């Protein structure tokens, strides 16, 4: 590691595993110090007033009873939303002790950064999300199968097995605590109890970043996003009597909290897609498939009997594709999601996603079943002849037909990588 490393800020929704990840990293250091500002509230006083780094490090060393040696110590500040001044101090750690490893993490960090400002150029960011399907396979001791999928290998027997595992992942989701419970107990109802606890924790967070009279709107939108997956988001379907600007404010707050991800229409046919972004037309996706289904009241008994067919669970499959895109995008910046639609009279078309790869735009459709036309995808490719190919994602096999490449739902990692 060079002397010009910058402090790292981990960003991500609550309970996606930020603290666990840093503790695992800390095992590789001679000295690891963790300061949790929710539990150790008195330490906030250290960051009030002047931020002199040498005396601050001396006090932290005395408090923890551990040495702080640049190059050998990992200093971890957790739940920093409770002490936003820590985020200001990070720039001085970088300027005065550049060889010290420093990581900060917490929930609702975007709101804390709004209060103290962003130390641009003096920190690094890493965005974390729930476990992807590939990471779920690794966690459940299916690494060889993950390697096979990465290589685009799948025969009929493996294909059915992969779909079965994906079926489990779609209701379970990628929240680490839920996956851990599944590994230890294999009890679906216990996993759902943990999902309920996580959902309740998110609802309790509303009061931390919303004015009291707006909490109801945030709660309404929180419940409405899973119900509108794969559709243009309509505030009238949330509450026909509420003012749309209040509901829009609630939606944007949930986006900043990392709970909701918006996918906007873009008319662009080349990178950057943001050049053709239309703020008026968008869809909203939740951040975890398992929690989304639990909010919708998933009946596990019925789910077990239901085969994984996009014709049955198309919106959830779109949610899954969006989630995989975020998981495999560049981790140092928040990914942006786009789709395309044409709403001319007698000539409507919609492409579910516009991905970018190797500086090219790739249109994507998530299809019902293995058969069926790709009218919208072909329409988009016809309008943009310089785009090399379109991507069809379904429960079918890997394949290629003319300018259409086919991916099974479980095979997204192989394409992203």
For the record, the structure tokens of 207 come out as 């009061």
Three-class secondary structure of residue 308 per DSSP: coil
**pLDDT tens sequence across 21-56:** 999 999 999 999 999 999 999 999 999 888 899 999
Inter-CA distances, 3 with 9, 54, 390, Å: 18, 18, 44
Fold exhibited by the domain 8-127: Rossmann fold (3.40.50)
Q: Give yes or no for a contact between 383 and 374, defined as CB atoms under 8 angstroms apart.
A: no
**What are the residue boundaries of the structural domains of the chain, listed by start?**
8-127, 134-335
pTM score over 0.85: yes
Residue 232: DSSP 8-state: B
Residue 63 backbone phi and psi in degrees, to 5: -65, -45
**pLDDT tens sequence across 124-134:** 999 999 999 99
CA pair distance 387, 45, nearest whole angstrom: 57
- ω into 272 cis (within 30 of 0): yes
Indicate if the pLDDT at residue 1 is higher than 50.
no
Which residue matches tokens 């929240």? 175
Average pLDDT rounded to a whole number, residues 321-327: 95
Local confidence band at 312 (pLDDT 50, 70, 90 cut-offs): low
148-187 residues labelled b (16+ CB within 10 A) or e (exposed): bbeeeebeeeebeebbebbbebbbbbbbbbbbebbeeeee
Segments of 308-397 assigned E as strands: 337-344, 347-351, 353-357, 360-366, 390-394
Greatest CA span in the chain, whole angstroms?
73
Rg, the chain, Cα only:
23
For the record, the structure tokens of 156 come out as 């009929």
What's the chain's average pLDDT? Answer: 91
Burial class (CB in 10 A: 0-12, 13-18, 19+), 344: exposed
Lowest-confidence segment of 173-177, 267-271, 342-346, 366-370 by average pLDDT: 366-370
Residue predicted with more confidence, 119 or 58: 58
């Amino acid at each position: 590691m060079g002397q010009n490393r910058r402090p790292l800020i981990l960003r991500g929704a609550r309970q996606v595993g930020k603290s666990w990840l840093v503790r695992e990293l800390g095992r590789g250091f001679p000295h690891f110090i963790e300061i949790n500002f929710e539990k150790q509230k008195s330490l906030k006083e250290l960051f009030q007033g002047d931020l002199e780094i040498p005396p601050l490090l001396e006090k932290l060393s005395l408090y923890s009873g551990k040495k702080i040696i640049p190059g050998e110590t990992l200093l971890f500040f957790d739940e920093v939303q409770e002490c936003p001044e820590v985020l200001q101090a990070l720039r001085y750690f970088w300027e005065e002790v550049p060889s010290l490893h420093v990581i900060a993490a917490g929930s609702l960090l975007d709101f804390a950064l709004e209060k103290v400002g962003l130390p641009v150029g003096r920190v690094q960011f890493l965005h974390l999300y729930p476990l992807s399907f590939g990471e779920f396979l690794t966690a459940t001791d299916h690494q060889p199968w993950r390697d096979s999928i990465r290589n685009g290998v799948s025969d009929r027997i493996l294909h059915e097995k992969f779909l079965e595992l994906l079926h489990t992942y779609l209701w379970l989701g990628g929240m680490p605590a839920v996956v851990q419970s599944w590994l230890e107990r294999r009890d679906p109802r216990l996993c759902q109890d943990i999902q309920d606890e996580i959902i309740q924790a998110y609802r309790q967070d509303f009061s931390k970043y919303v004015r009291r009279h707006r909490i109801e709107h945030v709660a309404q939108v929180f419940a409405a996003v899973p119900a509108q997956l794969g559709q243009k988001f309509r505030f009238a379907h949330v509450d026909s009597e509420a003012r749309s600007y209040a509901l829009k404010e609630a939606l944007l707050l949930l986006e900043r909290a990392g709970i909701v991800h918006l996918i906007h229409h873009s008319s662009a046919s080349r990178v950057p897609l943001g050049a053709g972004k239309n703020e008026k037309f968008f869809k909203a996706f939740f951040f975890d498939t398992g929690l989304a289904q639990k909010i919708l009241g998933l009946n596990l008994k019925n789910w077990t009997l239901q085969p994984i067919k996009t014709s049955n669970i198309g919106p959830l499959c779109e949610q899954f594709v969006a989630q995989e895109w975020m998981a495999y995008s560049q981790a140092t910046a928040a990914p942006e999601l786009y789709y395309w639609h044409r709403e001319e009279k007698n000539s409507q078309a919609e492409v579910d996603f516009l991905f970018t790869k190797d500086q090219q735009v790739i249109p994507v459709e998530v299809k019902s079943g293995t058969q069926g036309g790709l009218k919208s995808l072909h329409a988009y490719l016809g309008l943009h002849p310089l785009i090399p190919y379109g991507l069809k994602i379904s429960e079918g096999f890997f394949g290629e037909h003319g300018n259409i490449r086919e991916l099974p739902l479980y095979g997204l990692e192989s394409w992203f990588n």
